Amino acid sequence: MSGNGEDGRQPEDRDLAKRLDDLGRRLSAKEKEALAARKAQEPRPGGDATAMSNALRLSGEFIAGVVAGAGIGWAIDTYLGLSPWGLIVFLLLGFLTGVWNVLRAAGYLKTPRDHGSGGR
C-alpha cells in the first residue's frame, strides 16, 4: 500500500481525523461557555428569599410604628377622656415613626452609630 503512514491510514484520513478532533474540542468548549452564561443569567435561589425577608422586615417596621402609636393614643383616650384627640395625634406620630423606622432600616438615614461615638 503506497502512501500509508505508520497507522495504516491515508494522509487525507489522518488530516480529517485531526480536524474532527479539533472541531469536537472547540464545540465542547463553546457548550461549556454557553452553559456557564445560562447559569449566570438564572436568578439565585436565595435571592428571592433575601428580597422577601427585607420586604417583610420593612413592612413590619412600618406596621409596628402605626400600631404602637394607635395603641398609645387609644390608651390616652380611654384613661384621660381626650377622645378622639389622643388617638388622632398618636396615630400620626406612629405613622411618622413607622416611616422613620423604614428609612432607617433601609439605610437611607444614618443611625447614631454611623455618626461615631462622640468622644467615647
Q: Give the pLDDT of residue 91.
A: 95
What is the average pLDDT across 10-24?
Answer: 88
Q: Is the dihedral of CA 115, 116, 117, 120 positive or negative?
A: negative
Question: Count of residues for the chain?
Answer: 120
Which pLDDT tens digit goes with each residue over 64-117? Answer: 999 999 999 999 999 998 889 999 999 999 999 999 999 998 888 876 776 665
Cα angle 61, 107, 104; round to 5: 40
Q: What is the mean pLDDT of residues 12-41?
A: 88
Q: Residue 11: pLDDT above 90?
A: no
| pTM for the model | 0.53
Question: Per mean pLDDT, which range of 16-20, 24-28, 39-43, 102-106 is the poorest?
Answer: 39-43
SS (H, E, C) the chain: CCCCCCCCCCHHHHHHHHHHHHHHHHHHHHHHHHHHHHHHHCCCHHHHHHHHHHHHHHHHHHHHHHHHHHHHHHHHHHHHCCCCHHHHHHHHHHHHHHHHHHHHHHCCCCCHHHHCCCCC
